[in-house]
Amino acid sequence: MSVSQKRWTTIIRNRKDWLDIDLGELWRYRDLILLFVRRDFVTFYKQTVLGPIWFVLQPVFYTLVFTIIFGRIANIPTDGLPQPLFYLSSIVVWNYFANCLSQTSNTFIANTNIFGKVYFPRLTVPLSIVITNLITFFVQFALFLCFMLFFVLKGAVVRPNLAILFTPLLIVQMGVLGFGFGILVSSLTTKYRDLTFVTSFGIQIWMYVTPVVYPISQVSERWQWLFILNPMASIIETFRYAFLGAGAVRPLYSAISVAVTIFVLSVGILLFNRVERTFMDRI
């Protein structure tokens, strides 16, 4: 190390590899990540009347609407499970992924001012969003467990099993998938602003091609190959099987789901690192 370098406690260098992630640097900025998490968590419902109650009300409203429309009017089967429990299990899982994706997809555009003033690892922002949504997920997950206990006490046939042990892995995969897609879209929106508008309704369309409001057992075998390529399909079916005892869990589907997740994360980091160098000149 040269004499001039010894005078500095932090040295910022350009990344040479597109897939280069300095985990040590992210760890050193952990206080900043926690600061972002606290800011996002506190301010999100700060000026609302009901405040944090929305964490619970939102999935309850969705469950009620889905039960009426898809359960009672459309009469879509739910693999013998109580309809509210079936829909709530899907909504809790889907919300975590969708929120991670939608909120991280706007990283560069929403933080242009702060990115242009001071250096810090840009990945701290989407990472903090994933952690903030993880807190919301656990609140809604606790609500789901309460629903499950209620229906079990009423005598509903619900069969939790050892697949519950895979729950931490499913949560990590959802976070990684939302993070990967989010930074991928965020990188592309610096050049193609149209994606900002496409993302919101694209997530809605994605939800309907994922077994959120119907079980995959209702899908014709002719079209099930499409669900193999959808990584969220396997996650939701596995989660539902683990806690409720109904769902299609196939090792091949899960393996492809993990492979797609790793691929999306790799492409997302590659583009993010590339755009990070020059996005201020574009925006």
Residue 143 pLDDT > 70 = yes
pLDDT tens sequence across 31-79? 999 999 988 887 776 767 677 788 889 999 999 999 999 999 998 988 8
Contact present, 97 and 2 (Cβ < 8 Å): no
- One DSSP character per residue, 70-107 reads IIIIS----TTS-HHHHHHHHHHHHHHHHHHHHHHTTH
32: which 2 tokens? 């900043």
Rounded Cα distance between 200 and 5, Å, is: 46
Select from 85, 136, 37 the least CA-distant residue to 243.
85
- Calculate mean pLDDT across residues 215-232: 83
Residue type, 199: T
Rounded Cα distance between 98 and 178, Å, is: 7
Q: Which residue has the tokens 């929403």?
A: 110
Q: What is the pLDDT of residue 1?
A: 52
Contact present, 150 and 63 (Cβ < 8 Å): no
| pTM of the entire predicted model | 0.87
Q: Which residue has the tokens 């991928």?
A: 184
Average pLDDT over all residues of the chain: 86
Sequence-separated (6 or more) residues with CB below 8 Å from residue 280: 112, 115, 116
pLDDT tens sequence across 153-181? 998 888 889 999 999 999 999 999 999 99
**Which of residues 5 and 60 earns the better pLDDT score?**
60
pLDDT band of 3, cuts 50, 70, 90: low
88: which 2 tokens? 């709530």
